[in-house]
Chain A
Amino acid sequence: MRALDRKLFRDLARMKAQVIAIALVVASGVALFVATMTTYRSLRASEAVFYRQERFAQVWSGLGHAPLGVARDLAALPGVTAVDARLVARAILDVRGLDEPASGLLVSISPRPGHELNDLYVRRGRHVEPGRADEVMVSEAFAEKNHLGPGDSVTATVAGHRTSLHVVGIALSPEFVMPVEPGSAAPDDRRFAILWIARDQLEALLDMTGSFNDVALLLAPGTDERPVIAAVDRILAPYGGAGAYGRANQASHVMLEEHIDQLRGLTLLVPSIFLLVSAFLVNVVLARLIATQREQIGMLKAFGYSNARVAIHYLELTLLIVVLGVAVGIPVGAWLGRLMAVFYATFFRFPVLVLELEPAVAAGGAAVAVFAAVAGALGTLRHVVAMPPIVAMTPEVPAFRRTLLDRAGITPLLSTASRMIVRNLTKRPLRSGLASAGMALAVAVVVVGGSSADGLHRMRDVQFEAVQREDLSIALGHPRALGTARELLALPGVQRAEPYRVVPARLLGRGRREDIALYGLPEGGVLRNVVDTNFRNARPGAGVIVTAWTARRLGLVPGDLLSIEIRENRRRVVTARLEATVEDPLGEAGYMELGALGRLLGEPETYSHVNLLIDPSRAPALYAELKQAPHAMAIGIRRSTLASFRSMSDASLDFVRTIVLVFSVIIAFGVVYNTARIALAERGRELATLRVLGFTRGEASAIMLGEIAILAAPAIPLGLALGYLLTGAVATSMTGSRMHVPLIVSPPTYAFAVVVFVVSALASALVVRRRIDQLDLVEVLKAKD
């Protein structure tokens, strides 16, 4: 090993604390990048494989009912390779061990495994068999939550008939990765089941032999779904077709995409920000680190080392530090990526997990880190190497001159120590600025890490505490006359009953269309509200209030006339005035006053749903009664859905959020620590001189720490502001078609970022303080400046 190489390793060993801190910042950026890219890509790949293996349909439509012969017309459409003309029915379920009534969706299937499309993945038990009465397979999530297995049974009320169904298998379907009850804001696995039942069984229950009320189509690869959707609509129109749609509007797929999109916000943007931040910091830190090596560079050149050799020596130093970080970051990232991918694949219940540990991802992360570090080092090296050796060996004596502050008579007001601080900071404004900016980024990174769930929590709070105020909501099989709503008050424990109307509708505007749920809310009602993300209430009147982003997409502004296609029973287009828009975070919806909607529909004085406020002590009696209610099609329980939403979003977000937070804390600490250490390296001699002159340790430290504090102070407000902006970018990237995550950074998140930063700063200050205490006073007298 040559002397210069030996010097390299000695230097690394000497600076080990700083080397470790820089390498940790690099490792954090790279690890998070690799881990989350791996997770995201693995999930996408697993989703694709699941969809392909189980032949997930591409086009769906609900309808009133049609004879099976119509399905032949659908199958004959160009590009259609398979058609499942099926029966579906909503049911109220009575499950042993569950006090509340549950809701179910019965889906007819062929009694033989291996379906042409939307095939089932049987996890436990077996497929339903031909000729066996009342056999069903149950969706896995519901079965797990209610401890159901093959051999158990559930009681269902379907179309007014009560029947007992025997569970023979537990299954997964690409159609119901995230089973969301129609009309519900979130999945509630405990209370919503998919039940697959042999076609002849459901035909009998519904009395619909030889017909179908729902259809799913599989298309040949590369087929454009739009003409197929139009053709399906046309063919089904005479049979009460409710409007065909593609995967982009399929409830489970949309929900799954929302979740993966949210993850993408956290898994692509945040790590990219982290990687860039850590790259920037490494750049700044290494540039300054090399500046402190200036005399040694001069010395090497004086001995006859060429500029190139000297530059390579320091680049090697830089690269070794970065490579150390990358070498830690990639395996940690790969390991975390695998952990996260397994976690999310389990969370989404993908039967297969395709792990994608792509070398290109790792290489990309490493390249960014290496590039940033080398660029930082080269910037300084170019400057130092260009100096004649003797100039480089002469330490840089900062040539202080009288500044504006002196001339303005401000400095005389300060103590001598404060003057030193002020002059040092103002001497190199760029360097001071970069140090502050670096620390601000550290704060920002913690804000981004912490705020990732804030928007989602706000959305949840708006939806479940302001929009929905009911205890229970009941969906009726058919709209009923308004007068009957009063009967519900006779049910046990019901304190208030508010009928409302929901009708599926399609908004038409500027050549685009948006499918929404159109609500008719009763005047003076309090159980269902129109509320924006800032908890502001709007009250619908004669016109329509529409979700703001739906209106934006359609290019509509309040005052415009809206064309609304009513997609229930008889399809027709009506017009209404757009009254206002509301920044509604969840779902695509329109709101009108109940009477106005009735008049618009030509069905005045009807309701399809009812919200109930109940006396909790009498809930069991009410539940028992509702389990038998013949008119109810589905029952929603706000508290249960909220709990489910909470546990789901907590489970899916907290994991990645924790990882992001840990890395953000490491980055914040690494930055602050390095800033302090380099400042100390640059000023060590001056401080030692002061100590010799009789300054106590505290007095000498105060100068250094005061300087760091002044650099750190603006980093806090700056970092919080920057964190807010970056959170905005993340919120935008987390926004899907159905969910608009509001840009919210909660006070605790800000507070946490400040605490992390202040603790990092204090810890770094302690280290610096200890270093100052240990300064070699004798050594400093021997060395030339």
Chain B
Amino acid sequence: MEPVLRAEGLAKSYQMGEVEVRALRGVDLELGAGELVVLLGASGSGKSTLLNILGGLDVPSAGRIVYRGCDLTLARERARTAYRRDHVGFVFQFYNLVPSLTARENVAIVTDLADDPLSPEEALEIVGLSHRLDHFPAQMSGGEQQRVAIARAIAKRPEVLLCDEPTGALDVETGKLVLAAIARVNRELGSTTVVITHNAVIAAMADRVLQLADGRVTADHRNTSKKAPAELAW
């Protein structure tokens, strides 16, 4: 089966003052449709850089990244924006909601751009926030805000859902609720989902676990049995 995303020899280095930082040193990777992948790594392992390149936010210094046969490395800024807009959902550690918009409107800001989106209400229903539609971010807890962010990410029915430390700013119980929402989206919409985290416990909910260290994939294995997020404990 054709993978959704394929990375070939991805390398990324950038200049930090006078030091050249080599964040990725040759990553080869294939992500299949509907896979739930957890990307584990310590800070500085290059996992965020990898995620940014997968999401079309950044371009590699070397190597290729191909989305459904289309080489993103060659794409111009406009095409990468279109790629993000049409195919990618992002969830960030710090939610990045627009404070002046309600939960419903924060989702609508994406559905307004999409071709065949879920309605904002449906998306918020999936993350269990039907009762918070007209609340502003400042009126919601961190977990609720993160779930709005997930609803915003999935409302366009993205092929790829990228989550950067989605539970990083949350307590355990809230974190589990958020992970459950991600798992449900992955199951019901079939989005290829990548969750990056330094919390190894979370790996148990994945179809596949990638280890990243020093800019290289050091391990890649499939879970034979997945745990439900509610069963996780850290």
Residues of chain A touching chain B, judged by Cβ–Cβ distance below 8 Å, are: 397-402, 415-417, 419-420, 423-424, 427, 685-686, 689-697, 699, 777-778, 780-785
Closest-CB distance, A2 to chain B (whole angstroms): 21
Asked if A416 and B138 make an inter-chain contact with CB atoms under 8 angstroms apart, the answer reads no
A397 contact from B77, B90, B109, B138, Cβ within 8 A: B138
> Given known contacts A400-B99, A783-B94, is B57 in contact with A416 (CB within 8 Å)?
no
Complex Cα distance, B97 from A685, in Å, reads: 10
Contacting pair A397 B99 (CB below 8 A): yes
What are 30 residue pairs bridging A and B, where the CB atoms are less than 8 Å apart in the complex?
A397-B99, A399-B138, A400-B101, A400-B136, A401-B138, A401-B139, A402-B134, A402-B136, A416-B105, A417-B109, A419-B100, A419-B101, A420-B98, A423-B100, A689-B96, A690-B109, A692-B57, A693-B84, A693-B109, A694-B88, A694-B110, A696-B85, A697-B81, A777-B57, A780-B96, A781-B52, A781-B57, A781-B93, A784-B169, A785-B94
B79-95 residues with Cβ-Cβ distance < 8 A to A are: 81-82, 84-86, 88, 90, 92-95
| Contact flag A686-B164 (CB < 8 Å), given A400-B138, A691-B81 | no
Contact, CB under 8 Å: A781 / B100: no
Specify the chain B residue showing the minimal Cβ separation from A396. Answer: B99
Q: Is the CB of A427 within 8 A of B84?
A: no
CA distance in complex: A675, B85 (Å): 30
Known A-B contacts A401-B139, A415-B112; A778 and B94 likewise in contact (beta carbons under 8 Å): no
- Cα distance A399–B86 in the bound complex, in angstroms: 31
For the complex, what is the distance from the CA of A399 to the CA of B139, rounded to whole Å?
A: 8
Bound CA–CA A681/B216 (angstroms): 36
Kindly state the separation between the CA atoms of A149 and B21 in the bound complex, as whole angstroms: 83
* Residues in B neighbouring A686, C-beta threshold 8 A: 98-99
B100: A residues at CB distance < 8 A: 398, 400, 419-420, 423-424, 427
In the complex, chain A residues whose CB is within 8 Å of the CB of B148: none
B58-92 CB mask vs A (1 if < 8 Å, else 0) is 10000000000000000001100110111010101
Residues of B within 8 A of A699 (CB): 113
* Docked complex Cα distance between A109 and B82 (Å): 92
Interface size class of B (residues with CB under 8 A): 35 or more
Residues A693 and B99 in contact, CB atoms below 8 Å apart? no
Least Cβ–Cβ distance between B61 and chain A, in angstroms: 14
Residue B137, interface by CB 8 Å: yes
> How many Å lie between the Cα of A592 and that of B183 in the bound state?
99
Which residues of B from 8 to 66 have beta carbons under 8 Å from A? 48, 52, 55, 57-58
Q: Could you say which residues of chain A place their CB within 8 Å of the CB of B138? A: 397-401
Interfacial residues of chain B within 139-154, with CB under 8 A of chain A in the complex: 139, 152
Q: A785 contacts which chain B residues (CB < 8 A)?
A: 94-96
- B57, A694: Cβ atoms closer than 8 Å: no
Q: Using CB atoms and an 8 Å cutoff, list the residues of chain B in contact with chain A.
A: 48, 52, 55, 57-58, 77-78, 81-82, 84-86, 88, 90, 92-96, 98-101, 105, 108-110, 112-113, 134, 136-139, 152, 164, 169
B153 CB to nearest chain A CB (Å): 8
Taking the closest CB of chain B, its distance from the CB of A740, in whole angstroms, is 53
Cα-based distance from A461 to B117 in the complex (angstroms):
68
Residues of B within 8 A of A401 (CB): 136, 138-139
CB-nearest residue of chain B to A399: B138
Bound complex: CA A699 to CA B110 (Å): 12
Q: A691-B81, A693-B110 are in contact. Are A420 and B101 (CB under 8 A)?
A: yes
Residues from chain A with a CB closer than 8 A to the CB of B108 are: 416
Decide if A416 touches B136 in the complex (CB within 8 Å): no
The 10 tightest CB contacts between A and B, nearest first, are A694-B85, A399-B138, A423-B100, A689-B96, A400-B136, A694-B84, A416-B109, A777-B57, A784-B94, A398-B99
Alpha-carbon distance between A458 and B138 when the two chains are bound, in angstroms: 59
Rounded to whole Å, the gap between the CB of B187 and the closest CB of chain A is: 23
Complex contact A690–B136 (CB within 8 A) = no
> CB distance A692 to B48 under 8 Å?
no
Query: Whose C-beta in chain A lies nearest to the C-beta of B77?
Result: A697
User: Which residue from chain B places its CB closest to the CB of A400 in the assembled complex?
Assistant: B136
Min Cβ gap A196→B in Å is 80
Q: A398-B138, A401-B136, A780-B96 are contacts. A692–B90 as well, Cβ < 8 Å?
A: yes
**What's the Cα separation between A399 and B136 when bound, in Å?**
8
A781 near B113: Cβ-Cβ < 8 Å: no
CB distance from A191 to the nearest CB of B (A): 70
- With a 10 A CB-CB cut-off, give which of B77, B88, B100, B113 has the most chain A CB atoms: B100
Flag if B57 contacts A423 (CB, 8 Å): no
How far does the alpha carbon of A352 sit from the alpha carbon of B140 in the complex, in Å? Answer: 77
B-chain residues with CB within 8 Å of residue A423 when the two chains form the complex: 100-101
Q: A398-B138, A399-B138, A400-B138 are in contact. Are A689 and B98 (CB under 8 A)?
A: yes
- Tell me if B98 and A692 are in contact (CB < 8 A): no
Q: Which residues of B contact A400 (CB under 8 A)?
A: 99-101, 136-138
Q: How far is the CB of B141 from chain A (nearest CB, A)?
A: 13
Distance A784 CA – B110 CA, assembled complex (angstroms): 21
Contact status B105-A419, CB under 8 Å = yes
Once bound together, how far apart are the Cα atoms of A402 and B139, in whole Å?
11
In the bound assembly, the distance between CA atoms of A579 and B59 in angstroms comes to 87
Can you name the residue of chain A whose Cβ is closest to the Cβ of B153?
Answer: A693
**How far is it, in angstroms, between the C-alpha of A397 and the C-alpha of B58 when the chains are bound?**
28
- State A699–B112 Cα separation when bound (angstroms): 12
The answer to whether A696 touches B99, judged by C-beta atoms less than 8 angstroms apart, is no
Residues of chain A within 8 A (CB-CB) of B98 are 420, 686, 689-690
Pair B136/A781 contact, Cβ less than 8 Å: no
* B residues in contact with A417, CB < 8 Å: 109
Question: Closest Cβ of chain A: how far from B97's Cβ, in Å?
Answer: 8
Shortest CB-to-CB span from B91 to chain A, Å, is 10
Q: Which residue of A lies closest to B138 (CB)?
A: A399
State the Cβ distance, A759 to closest chain B Cβ, in Å. 28
- Alpha-carbon gap, A402 to B104, bound state (A): 13
Are A694 and B86 in contact (CB-based, < 8 A)?
yes
A418: shortest Cβ distance to chain B, in Å?
11
